[in-house]
Amino acid sequence: MAGKLKQGEYLPSIRGLAKELRISVITTMKAYEELERQGLVTAVQGKGYYVNAQDSEMLREQHLRKMEEHLSNAISAARIGGISNQELIQILEMLLEADN
């Protein structure tokens, strides 16, 4: 989604990536299947997975959806912790400044 991989570029093999990251082959396979489900990659029998062409508007929508999900989780945590809207906004502004 960050555009680091080009259209048509093959992803590392499931086993190779699992070994490199020191994680389960099953976990890696599930991640690749999720990418395929989202339309970001396509599986080719005997060759692996390659990156699909991406519509920039679709990528933006995916980023927005992910951001909204994370912000909703942050709001829920703030409510549970008794943090006010103003405090939450200040924290967000502080994080945005720290990121610059």
pLDDT tens digit string along 46-99? Answer: 889 999 887 777 778 888 999 999 999 999 999 999 999 999 999 999 999 999
Q: Are residues 45 and 61 in the same domain?
A: no
Please indicate, yes or no, if residue 5 is contained in any of the structural domains.
no
Judge if 33 and 68 occupy the same domain. Answer: no
The rounded Cα 26 to chain-centroid distance in angstroms is 18
Domain span including residue 82: 56-99
| 9 assigned to some structural domain | no
* Whole-prediction pTM: 0.57
